[in-house]
Chains A and B, each alone.
Chain A
Amino acid sequence: MDLVQQLLYMLQGISTTLLISIFSFLLGLTIGLPLAFIRTYERGFAVFVDAFEKVFRGIPELVLMLLFYRGVGLFLAFPFGDAFFTATFVLGLRSAANQSQIFKGAIRGVGEEQMVAARSLGLSRLQSILRVMIPQVFIFSTPGLGSEYALLVKDSSYAFVIGVPVIMEQADRIRKATYDPVIPYIVAAILYILLTFPLATWLDTWGSRKKKQLGL
């Protein structure tokens, strides 16, 4: 395996890792944000939301991935036969459970008063959530969301057990081809840091600045 080929392998690893991280983050956001509001304002659903969170935060993602890929995949040819889809789906649900927790804390931080003030103007509950709560909830959540994104980039490496060409998988393939037991993993380690650190830090800084500016 020559150097150019190794480079191409790693490029594919980077793009796959990024795609899984971004898609699972967005899936987690789409499910986690509504869950947090449902949990806060619809006490009746609390049991279901809590159970969902317990299950997806409690079971190791490695187990989840194999379970969905092998177990569920046996009965459902698609989508769970597809390793990339399975990895994104599992990480997305786990992220939904995490993000729901993050947003719940942020809703508490923004405060019920903002909701009361919004309702006093005649805004509906949904309008109040969309126009008043969510913009502030996001600002409150930036540190948590930054860490959550970094966690997804790191945890996407588990997808190598079902053969998804993430950075980890590619490093492993290069190791097998070149018999170099160290360098490929060092490169992988550096890549993971490069993919997580800048964005998470930027989000954190932006959030702190915004919070200070708005007095949140």
Chain B
Amino acid sequence: MAEIVMECKNLWKTYGKIIAVKDVSFQIREGEIKLVFGPSGSGKSTFLRCLAMLTIPDKGDVYLRDQCLTKPSVDLNKARAKIGFVFQHIWLFRHLTALGNVELSLRRVLKMPKDEAREKAMEALRLVKMEDWAKHYPAQMSGGQQQRVGIARALARNPNIILLDEPTSALDPELTGEVIDTLRDLARMGTTMLIVSHEMPFAREVADEMIFYDEGAIVETGPPELFFTNPESERAKKFMARLIKKTKRE
């Protein structure tokens, strides 16, 4: 079996009375694509942020390959450089062009020389089919184009894994397709990805495993087929039924 890329053990994160991550253990191997879904407010974003150590968990351990990120002595900046993160609301740097957005970490984190960084950034933009937009600012692009640049920004450093938090849910429905196409390309290239998404046809097509997340915990995991035919838990059953109905309506 392929090597474990990212893992967490008994992870907890609470906000006052709200338990966003409740004793969650999880692992993902090289080349795997896992898809997290579940009701809004259940803690999916918090879970992803904890894995990237953008939010520091209260308890539990996160591992990136062999390195334990929850040990106080780790250099979190170095660790985050090896994790790509794509945000629901994209959050491109608005004062930088598409190229500037993708280049930034190559220049300032990996300390690549200018020419090399530019070449690498252009390569990433080509991958998401945004190379013609390299000199444009985010405000000049559509939401779908912005998110593709967001994906290029996350993958330019060749991270070990990319975490994507609802990459299409803030976009107009007619713009989700282009982003999904990009994700499909990444999947074909064997990129290790943990994706929060409710794009069910896409999930069925690319996910090795689906994870139903509710009330801060992983309720059920399994191959997509399980969820589309006969999920075990009542909660997953109900949620899937609602999702499928909604997808049909669209």
Contact = CB atoms under 8 A, between A and B. Distances in A.
Instruction: State which size class the interface on A falls in.
Output: 20 to 34
Interface stretch (B75-83, B217-225, B242-250): B75-83
A123 B104 contact: yes
A209 B95 CA distance: 13
Contacts of B204: none
B54 interface: yes
Contacts of A120: 52, 54, 80, 83, 85, 87, 154
A114 B91 CA distance: 6
B42 interface: no
Given A127-B108, A215-B138, A122 B81 contact: yes
A108 to B, nearest CB: 15
Main secondary structure of the interface of A (DSSP, over half): helix
Interface residues of B, number: 27
B139 A117 contact: no
Interface in B95-131: 95, 104-105, 108-109
Contacts of A131: 104, 108
B228 interface: no
Contacts of A139: 95
Contact of B80 (A113, A121, A136): A121
Interface in B58-87: 77-83, 85, 87
Nearest first, the 10 closest Cβ-Cβ pairs linking A and B are A122-B81, A215-B139, A121-B105, A117-B91, A120-B85, A122-B109, A122-B80, A135-B95, A113-B91, A214-B94
